[in-house]
Structure 1
Amino acid sequence: MFNKYIINFVLLFKGVFVRFGVDPNQLRIILTTKMKMDDRRPNVYNQQRQKQKKEVNHSSWLTMFFLGITGLFFTALLVIAKQPFVGHTIYFSAFMVMLAITLISDFTSVLIDVRDNYIILPRPVSDSTFTISRILHIGIHTTKMALAISLSGMIYSFIWEGPIASLVFILEVFIATVLSIFLVNIIYLIVLKVTSPQKFKDFISYFQIIFSVLIFAAYYTLPRLMTASTLQNFEIKSIKILAIVPPVWIAALHEMAVNFKSTDLLTVAYALLAVFSPVLSLYLVVKVLAPGFNQKLSSISGSGDDGTIISSEGKGASKGFMNVLAKSLAPDPIENAGFKLTWLLSSRYRDFKVKVYPSFAYVPVYFVYFGFIGKKGSISENWQSLLSGDMYILLIYLTSFVLTTVLQYVSLTEKYKASWIFFTTPHQQPGKILAGMFKAVITKYYVPYFLVVSIFSLTFWGTKVINDLILAFMVGIIYGLLVAVFQVKGLPFSQPINIKKGGRTFITFFIMLIPIAFGFLHNWAAKWETVIWISAALMTLFAWISFASYKKETWESLEMAD
């Protein structure tokens, strides 16, 4: 219904569109279809409905709702900051980053998706109608996202600062939106010009990984660092390097609106940059970067890898290294096959990397959060306090949660139908395939990560932590086995992403408590070296017995895809 009102509003300007050779009726049909597809597109906010295999509707509006909640937190920055210039600079910095992230995540389905070429172009639709419909679709999509983030800020500005300030705020939102689109486009256009379509898709994936880590880190650290006193004592104009930051230009517009009499020349210069920068950005995109862009988009859409990376892994030296590991760690032929398949496919599937890789950055973020954020004293004093305590125990136990993410996704893929090979080969021992899968996950992800953390711990806490590292590693192995037994009910990359996994919430919660409980017990018993060594030996024995049992998993214990 809301989409209908939006389209009706757009078509109020159909007289202008007709002058450009656009058919209004065709434009209405195309926009209606595109927006309906947007509402049915799966995203992170409606995963629960996907898992329950229910029809997804109003997807874009659900996204807007969560963006609106995010915008509410951004508005709190305007309230905290007593200086409007500072508040608006920080607000629009957060606004532009959030909008850019949203656009990047939607880029492949909104802009890069050129499948409508095959549906619309063979029909009697003019180039003008087709081009305008695409521009309007992108514009409507972006406007909805920008409005969701900024709505609470607009309301605050109108109530507490008056109608003039609220009108200027709307202008600020428009400029910030245009500049966000420009920044995203200029990055993508430059990458498109210097890379292949395959590398471009990899770039998008790694970009999403980096930004998801940044959001996670900002969520845990910025609220504690950005206290009210910090914002009140912060002086933007004294930091010359900030003159190149667009949010500073945008904030200058608001400064002129509310403090016009005391406005200095530098603020006027920033405001002029804010007004003219969208015009300049549009010129650069259209005249300098856009030529050949459609051909590049078509080549991306036609590359057809569908989420698969052609990895160098499995070739040359990489293949030799993997084969040596597989032969040494999984000598059984069936187990060896499970090891190799898991190792190679985890390197090829782009969606798997996007979901798993951010979790490796969460551990240092949590370590910094618990070790430094909110603590009194300087950073050096807090660091010395860490070195004199047992904080390394928290760090090494946090690594076990990386296994949760890897094992959670190691059996899931959109290309699950290719797993028919598991069920047609003459064997009745799926447990051996699972054992090979588990060994590959441990060897490829957990061991290298734990090794890095161990080197860090040994460097700063000394050799006294060796037995602690051994105990924590074996507890992590046991935890991983429990996750594999109770949560991973499929062979490697053999299940659809939306498979229903109900009825195991309590078990999952209980399993997650195990490393937490062991961590507390370990911290309490750390002063008794002998106890730690004995515990490490017992955990090693228990891990060996548990793995031997895991190898005996049968077909009846697995969940099969439909």
Structure 2
Amino acid sequence: MKDFKVLKILDIFKFIFEKAGIDYDVMRRILEIKFTLDGRRVPTIVGNSSSKKKDEDSNSFIKSLGVYLLLGIILVFFVTKADNYLYQMSFVFGILMFMMMTSLISDFSSVLLDIRDKNIILSKPVDSKTLNMAKVLHILFYMFFITISFSGPALIVSLFKQGGIFFLIFLAEIILMDLLIVVLTALLYLLVLKFFDGEKLKDIINYVQIALTIALSVGYQLLGRLFDFVDFKNVVFNPKWWQYFIPPIWFGAPFELILNNNRETYLITFSILALLVPIISIIIYVKLTPSFERNLQKLNSSGGKTGSRNNRITDFTSKLVCRSEEEIVFYRFATNMMKNERVFKLKVYPSLGFSIVFPFIFLFNGLRNGGLEGLVSSKMYFSIYFTALLIPTIVMNLGHSGNYKGAWIYRVVPFTDAKSIFKGTLKAALMNLILPLYILISIIFMIIFKGKIIVDLIIVFLNILLFMVICFRTTDKSLPFSKPFELAEQSQGFLVMIITFFTLGLLGLIHYLAIRTNYGSYIYIAALIIVNIVIWKNSFNIALEELGE
């Protein structure tokens, strides 16, 4: 088995783990196996590889780091100046924490909440403390690689522009930040595990993911409000008690404290928090790992009542939107899978959080600039198009499942094309995930804009219907829930996300141009209805043999 370089570096700290009562040799072997298996797993940000065969030593995760490296160029601007370190580096760590927390939620929550390790490894002479440390280190290594890749351009530039001390502080705080993110997420899941069990627990964890995503998005916006911005050289920070609960400020403070020799009390306090909170959090986590593992077994239970009411709703909506018995069957099948497939929800639900919060972030910015009256008379309601951001994620994940071996059922269906399968599945996704969210946001927008935008909301919904089919046509085709997430094929991913977002922007632009002409809105509605009827009728004529199932 391949001996990974990162494990050779870890060997230097072997004595620390042994003093903590961890069987280092066993932990190292567990990590070695995990890293080997991870060569077949593909991160969400780049999607899946389209190749059927992979080189034994090839690691899709390592290949994906180039995408983070490219995105990290945006941080370079903040480290080239030396005007206000607190402002600059608070923003840098705000962006870093946003990206890393999002990556953790989407890619590593399933690892953190994996109960197979306990069933397989703990049946051997391995203690739970060793296993849990291996699990945390497994995630931390990958989070660190992602962070270094994302912050790599800024780190290199900072070394030459700001000097070695700045570089060392930056690198040390990146490690502390990753430690804080992973451990606090685990402790949050532990809190949820403590008070809920069975199916209810699985739902609560998904709601926690949505809440985390919303909190991150709102917190990132809040970060900019902490400073009175005149120009880049004149940024005023007014300390308040509640700012001590905003971690990016902690990590920005040591730069101002050390490099500018600013000895303000609040800077000293922020710097202490940046150092101590991650260390204390990892100590608490190690102490609570036995409890975490015990409570994690609740995910195996299926307590709670089966929702007959939910079944009645599914029956009603399936007959409302489906046009054939075959569609109804796969509508109900897809609805049940989306409600019960835990890995699917771990992948998709964070996108729900973004889709909820992004429209309102832009509204708040408009409210700040022009006040309520200015907002009502503006076109800021176009921000509701951000609700559609979750559609590419949903469509790309509909083909994958943790129970993919049940896909043999497609071989016994009494028809030769997949039209009813795909239409029923997409309609289920629309009715269960997209429409409730859109209705909720539309009601709030109607209140804010005093009922003036009902025609525009109809146009947006018709565009969402069209956009959903475009996403389906753009991505690789596979039968619903027929492939494992770990080996999810992916020539789509990042490039397809860019293409689909460009398409959504184009639909929004046509909408904007239409409302600027007399009766343009109504003409556009009529055109969209016709286009949707045609495209929904003709986009799913795919033979089952073409899918290789």
TM-score range, shorter-chain basis?
Answer: 0.7 to 0.9
Q: Which has the higher contact order (CA 8 A, sep 6+)?
A: 2
What is the CA–CA distance in structure 2 between the aligned matches of 1:349 and 1:37, rounded to whole Å? 22
Change (3 A) 1:435 1:488: farther
Alignment partner of 1:325 out of 317, 322, 336: 317
Is the alpha carbon distance of 1:64 and 1:237 closer, same or farther for their aligned partners in structure 2, counting shifts above 3 Å? farther
The one-letter code matched in structure 2 to 1:303 is N
Which runs of 5 or more structure 1 residues have no equivalent in the other structure? none
Q: 2:307 aligns with which of 315, 335, 348?
A: 315
Output the amino acid matched with 1:342: A
Q: Is the Cα–Cα contact under 8 Å of residues 213 and 353 in structure 2 kept in the other structure?
A: no
CA-to-aligned-CA distance 1:293-335 (integer Å, 9 cap, x gap): 33334x26x7299xxxx997x7222222222333444474333
How far is the alpha carbon of 1:242 from its aligned partner? 2.2
Q: Check if 1:47 corresponds to 2:47.
A: yes
* CA distance 1:205–1:561, shift in 2 (3 Å): farther
Q: 1:285 to 1:473 in 2, by over 3 A?
A: closer
Aligned to 2:295: 296
Residues 3 and 195 from structure 1, CA distance in 2 versus in 1: closer, same or farther, beyond 3 angstroms?
farther
Paired residue for 2:368, among 368, 379, 387?
Answer: 379
Partners of 1:495 and 1:269 lie apart in 2 by 50
> How far did residue 118 of structure 1 move?
6.1
Output the CA distance in 2 between the equivalents of 1:278 and 1:472: 44
Q: Contact between 1:182 and 1:285, CA under 8 Å: does it hold in 2?
A: yes
Q: Is the 8 A contact 1:430 1:555 kept in 2?
A: yes
Give the counterpart letter for 1:323 in structure 2: D
Matched, 1:263 2:263: yes
- Asked if structure 2 preserves the Cα contact closer than 8 Å seen for 1:80 and 1:231, the reply is no
CA distance in structure 2 between the partners assigned to 1:151 and 1:518 by the alignment: 36
CA distance in 1, matches of 2:130, 2:516: 75
Query: Distance between the aligned counterparts of 1:274 and 1:482, measured in 2?
Result: 46
Superimposed CA distance per residue, residues 482-519 of structure 1 (whole angstroms, 9 cap, x where no aligned partner): 6557768555434566676879x999999988776665
Partner residue, 2:341: 349
Work out which of the residue numbers 539, 543, 546 in structure 2 matches 1:556: 543
Distance 1:50-1:387 versus aligned 2 partners, 3 A rule: same
Distance 1:200 1:528, change over 3 A: same
What aligned pairs does 1:205-244 form with structure 2 within 5 A after superposition? Answer: 205-210=206-211, 229=230, 232-236=233-237, 238-244=239-245
Describe the shift of the 1:117–1:425 C-alpha distance in structure 2 as closer, same or farther (beyond 3 A): closer
User: Max radius of gyration: which structure?
Assistant: 1
Kept in 1: contact 2:190–2:295 (CA 8 A)? no
Counterpart in 1 of 2:195?
194
TM-score where L is the length of structure 1: 0.72
SS of 1:44's equivalent in the other structure is coil
Distance 1:66 1:311, change over 3 A: farther
Q: Distance in 2 between matches of 1:540 and 1:18?
A: 67
Farther-moved stretch of structure 1 (108-117 vs 338-347) = 108-117
8 Å Cα contact 2:359/2:387 also seen in 1? no
Instruction: Tell whether the 8 Å contact from 2:106 to 2:346 is kept in structure 1 after alignment.
Output: no
Instruction: Give me the CA root mean square deviation.
Output: 5.3
Contact 2:351–2:390 under 8 Å retained in 1: yes
Local SS of the residue matching 2:300:
coil
**Measured at CA, do residues 223 and 433 of structure 1 come closer, stay the same or move farther in structure 2, by a change above 3 Å?**
same
Which position in structure 1 is the counterpart of 2:37? 37
What does 1:163-182 align with in structure 2 at a 5 Å threshold? 163-164=164-165, 166-182=167-183
Whole-angstrom CA distance in 1 between matches of 2:127 and 2:443: 64
Give the drift of 1:248.
4.5
Alpha-carbon offset, residue 265 of structure 1: 4.9
Once residues 279 and 506 of structure 1 are traced to their aligned partners in structure 2, the CA distance between those partners, rounded to angstroms, is: 39
Normalising by structure 2, report the TM-score: 0.74
> Per the alignment, do residues 61 and 384 of structure 1 end up closer, same or farther by CA in structure 2, a change over 3 Å counting?
same
Query: For 1:12 and 1:252, how far apart are their aligned partners in 2?
Result: 31
- The separation in 2 between residues aligned to 1:74 and 1:347, in whole angstroms, is 39
Give the residue type in structure 2 aligned to 1:44.
T
Amino acid at match of 1:339: Y
Aligned-residue offset at 1:443? 3.8
Q: Which residue of 1 aligns with 2:409?
A: 421
Tell me, in whole angstroms, the C-alpha distance in 2 between the residues paired with 1:24 and 1:527: 68
**Bigger mean CA deviation after superposition, 507-516 or 462-471:** 507-516
Match of 1:526 among 511, 515, 534: 515
Letter in 2 for 1:195: F
Determine the C-alpha separation between the residues in 2 that align with 1:390 and 1:237.
Answer: 33
Which residue of the partner structure matches residue 8 of structure 1?
8
Alpha-carbon deviation of 1:337? Answer: 1.7
In the TM superposition, what are the counterparts of 1:357-436 in structure 2 within 5 Å? 357=349, 379=368, 381=370, 384=373, 387-388=376-377, 392=381, 394=382, 405-427=393-415, 431-436=419-424
Shift of 1:249: 4.8
For 1:340, the equivalent position in structure 2 comes to 332
* 2:493 corresponds to 1:493: no
CA distance in 2 between counterparts of 1:432 and 1:222 reads 48
Distance 1:461 1:237 in 2: 34
Shift of residue 431 of structure 1? Answer: 3.7
Whether the aligned pair in 2 keeps the contact of 1:338 and 1:432 (CA below 8 Å) is yes
Counterparts of 1:225 and 1:271, CA distance in 2 = 17
The CA deviation at 1:450 is 4.7
SS at match of 1:325: helix
What is the letter of the counterpart of residue 322 of structure 1? T
Q: Percent identity?
A: 25
Q: 2: CA distance between counterparts of 1:435 and 1:415? A: 21
Question: Do the aligned partners of residues 535 and 311 (structure 1) sit closer, same or farther apart at CA in structure 2, a change above 3 Å counting?
Answer: farther
Cα separation, partners in 2 of 1:368 and 1:127, compared to 1, 3 Å: closer
- The offset of 1:372, in angstroms, is 7.8
Distance 2:113 2:481 in 1: 27
For 1:461-499, what per-residue CA distance to the aligned partner results, in whole angstroms no more than 9, with x for missing partners?
A: 667755555555455545555655776855543456667
Q: 1:529 to 1:440 in 2, by over 3 A?
A: farther
CA distance in 2, matches of 1:111, 1:353: 15
The letter of the residue matching 2:197 is S
Could you tell me whether the CA contact under 8 Å between 2:243 and 2:249 is conserved in 1?
yes
Give the Cα–Cα distance (whole angstroms) in 2 for the partners of residues 186 and 238 of structure 1. Answer: 28
Task: Tell me, yes or no, if the aligned pair for 1:236 and 1:242 is still in contact at 8 Å.
Answer: no
Question: What is the number of equivalent residue pairs in this alignment?
Answer: 547
CA–CA distance in structure 2, aligned partners of residues 256 and 513 of structure 1:
43
Q: Secondary structure at the match of 2:54?
A: coil
Amino acid at match of 1:337: V
217-226 vs 484-493, which moves further: 217-226
Q: Please tell me the residue identity of whatever aligns with 1:240.
A: W
TM-aligned CA deviation for residue 187 of structure 1: 2.0
Which segments of 5 or more consecutive residues in structure 2 lack a partner in the other structure? none
String of CA shifts for 1:170-225, please: whole Å, max 9, x gaps: 55445445444442343233223223365555455445445556777899998999
